[in-house]
Amino acid sequence: MSTFVEKLKAYSKPGYYDEFDYHWTMTIDLDRCTGCEACVVACQAENNLPIVGEKRIARNREIKWIRIERYWEGDFPDVKMGFIPMLCQQCDDAPCETVCPVFATYHNQDGLNTQIYNRCIGTRSCAIYCPYEVRYFNWFTYTWDEPLEQQLNPDVSVREKGVMEKCTFCIQRIRIAKDKAKDDDQRRVRDGEVVPACVQGCPTEAMVFGDSNDPEAKVSKMMKNPRGYAVLEELNTTPSIVYLKKAHA
Amino acid sequence: MKAQETMFDQGQPSYADVNKDVLSSMLETGPRYWVLLGTTMSVAVICFFMPWVYQLFVGIGAAGMNRNAVWGTYISNFIFWIGLSHSGTLLSAVLHITNSQWRKSIYRSAEAMTLFSLMTAALFIMVHVGRVWFVHWTFPIPNPMGLWPNFRSPLMFDVMAITTYLTASSIFIYMGSVPDFAAVRDASTGLRRRLYTIFSFGWRGTAKEWHTLGWAYTFFAVFVIPLAVSVHSIVSWDFALSIVPGLHHTIFAPYFVCGAIYSGTAGIVTVMYCLRKFLGFEKYIGQVHLDNLGKLLIALSLIWSYINILELFSTWYGGTSFEIEALKFRLTGFYAPLYWEMILFCAFVPLLMLFKKFRLSWNKMLVISILINIGMLTERFIIVATSLPRKFLPNAFGFYFPSWVEISITIGSFAIFATLFLIFIKWVPAVSIYEVKETLKPLRRDA
């Protein structure tokens, strides 16, 4: 009986783990962000995102795992524009994970909210439950015109129609780094060894990525910045992305 | 006893009449039936299955959904059909337990309605999901992946609830039909006789058999009632357990259950009209049924309106900006005309039934019942189309409008329902022979 109670208690914890092995976290400094969309392009190239075409973008069916959201403040002519890069927040209490009937999306021991394409049956309920709207559905099977298919990343699967996809924090790079660290005398992954495509592509170094379980990591120091906040914090999804507010708008 | 006398508008039929009338509706098939069946079948194939096959090849992109509105008409139709299924078995069970006499001539077709609308609803799940060829992964069947379904998911609850409800209501309707299958067996010859011998489990009508049937039937009636309530609660949780503004309400479960029974009861009135008109059951379906169903509809419409007001009030009182924005869009946005149409059809039109003149007229009741179901169909559409594309981040606000594939499949689903029902009336007596006989006053020799 007691083991049952313990199991039940363990089950109610986010992601079922007390502490993640690694806790991959990202900070995005909005003061540094220029909205150049280099991250969007980098992501497109790294993760085999389909080129959906003009018509489908007009119908709101684009697939961009990271997007730059624009907001305007004030009325013309006193208009100020603000922008915020929006990508999967890798929530610790992710609403999308509870709703998937087939466990296509779940939390792994690295604190990542993973998506398994082969298991997805396409109920699209995860996208409904996600408050950040960062899940993208494959409405069609997309093809790449020659010679674009030559640049497909062999480390990332190409998705077929009917499955959901989203930002993975470039899990293929995390896997490679972890494998290397394991071969290298079972050490832990060092700070800066994993760099997702968007972070790599950012010209102003607005994004910092790392393991927040490591107090010495750059990302852990950035997180302590008093400008830090999480988007839609009041929903208690406990996102893994910390945004640093613009100091003066 | 009064209800008993008024159940038959055109005088009480004799025992032999009951058998003859009901069985002839089954055994004698005119050209009109074949034309009707052919029409509904071809509409089902052309409007439902052909667009679906097209969608299977192209991808869900054939429908009008997009990044912000990933659920659309398929889900709203799914809720509608589940809702329509709610009255049949539930009403039949409740009325059986309360021992209502007027139930006996309408319950069989009401239960059939439950069965077929559940099947249509299940079809919509198939149409909705992105990879229908893997839909069996939602069932707890051992598979090579060694993976169990996610029991935390409201969608998983749905699978469980709907399959249980479908099984229970199938058993319920079958069990109630066994003595009637025996009546068909006795009246027929050849292959049909042999078939119905199997269907009726060799029913002979001994006292012990009647006793067992009565006991089992009441057991299932009690079993089915909480089941029916749970099914639509769970369907509502698909929405209410999310954090989408405009859907994250605790009132949703009772709201959906009430709406489901409401639309189901209106559906029964429509089906009764057709049975009377096309199968000649004027003798058995009469004023008393209309009157009682009308009263039930008024009560349900009042509850429904009350819950609607509550929903608006608690949203407004809560006052969070997301909820207020969702409310504003619903009441004044693009789909506002649909919203007010729903209020008109479901809250105000049914009040006409307060007058006996409306309640006792078949034509007027037919119009009202169809209007109610149009209102309920749009209610489900509004829930999906106004809340889901507009959640939290204004930059990601979208818009949803159904494509021709979705509209065609919606039309086709009604044809599927009609086809199933038409097949049903030729296989199962649409009016319960033995239970109607129970309500007849015993004939005296000098009468």
Contacts of A139 in chain B (CB under 8 A): 59-61, 65-66
For residue B372, give both structure tokens. Answer: 């109610």
Q: If you average pLDDT over residues A217-242, what whole number do you get?
A: 90
For residue B271, give both structure tokens. Answer: 């089906």
Domains of chain A: 23-244 (3.30.70.20)
B367 domain residue, yes or no: yes
B130 domain residue, yes or no: yes
Q: Which pLDDT value is given to residue A6?
A: 81
ipTM of the complex model? 0.86
B447 domain residue, yes or no: no
Give the residue numbers spanning the domain of B385: 2-141+151-439
B188 domain residue, yes or no: yes
Q: Which residue of A has its CA nearest to B133?
A: A121
B387 domain residue, yes or no: yes
Interface mutation target, options A59, A128, A137, chain B, most CBs of B under 10 Å = A128
Whether residues B242 and A60 touch (CB distance < 8 A) is answered with: no
Q: Which residue of B has its CA nearest to A102?
A: B149
The tens place of each residue's pLDDT in chain B, 447 residues long, gives 344 445 666 667 777 777 777 787 777 788 888 999 999 999 999 999 999 999 999 999 899 898 888 999 999 999 999 998 888 888 888 888 887 777 888 888 888 999 999 999 999 999 999 899 988 888 888 877 777 888 889 999 999 999 999 999 899 889 988 998 888 888 888 888 888 888 888 888 889 999 999 899 889 888 888 888 999 899 999 999 988 888 888 889 999 999 999 998 899 889 888 888 887 777 777 788 888 888 889 999 999 999 999 989 988 998 888 889 889 998 998 999 999 999 999 999 989 888 888 888 888 889 999 999 999 999 999 999 988 888 888 888 888 899 999 999 999 999 999 999 999 988 888 888 888 877 777 665 554
Coil, strand, or helix at residue A27? strand
Separation CA A182–CA A185 (nearest Å): 6
Question: Which of B60, B153, B395 is nearest residue A122 as measured by Cβ atoms?
Answer: B60
Q: Which pLDDT value is given to residue B6?
A: 52
**Identity of the amino acid at B288:** V
User: Where does A73-193 have alpha helices with state H?
Assistant: 95-99, 125-129, 171-183
Q: Which pLDDT value is given to residue A138?
A: 92
Interchain CB contact of B150 with A (< 8 Å): yes
Whether residues A131 and B241 touch (CB distance < 8 A) is answered with: no
**Identity of the amino acid at B147:** L
Helix axes B107-128, B154-187, angle to 10 degrees: 140
CA distance B146 to chain A (A): 12
Secondary-structure breakdown of chain B: helix, strand, coil percentages, each rounded to the nearest 5: 75, 0, 25
Q: What is the DSSP track for B52-97?
A: HHHHHHH-GGGSS--SS--S-HHHHHHHHHHHHHHHHHHHHHHHHH
B425 domain residue, yes or no: yes
Cα dihedral value A7, A8, A10, A12, nearest 10? 160
Nearest to B185 by CA among B12, B424, B433: B433
List, in sequence order, every residue forming a beta bridge with A164; answer none if it has no partner: A137
Q: Which pLDDT value is given to residue B432?
A: 83
CATH code, B327: 1.20.1630.10
B19 domain residue, yes or no: yes
Phi/psi region, residue B205 (left: phi>0; alpha: psi -120 to 50; beta: rest), is left
Tell me: the pLDDT tens digits for A111-169? Answer: 889 999 988 999 999 999 999 999 999 999 998 988 888 889 999 999 999 999 999 99
Question: Which of B130, B138, B391 is nearest residue A162 as measured by Cβ atoms?
Answer: B130
Query: How many domains in chain B?
Result: 1
Phi/psi region, residue A232 (left: phi>0; alpha: psi -120 to 50; beta: rest), is left
Residue for token pair 């999804």 = A237
Which residues have a Cβ under 8 Å from the Cβ of B432 and sit 6 or more positions away? B104, B105, B107, B108, B176, B177, B180
Q: Which pLDDT value is given to residue A16?
A: 53
Euclidean distance between the first and final Cα of chain B, in Å?
19
Q: What is the DSSP track for B147-205?
A: ----TT-HHHHHHHHHHHHHHHHHHHHHHHHHHHHHHHHHH--HHHHHHHHHHTTT---
B445 domain residue, yes or no: no
**8-state DSSP, A228:** E
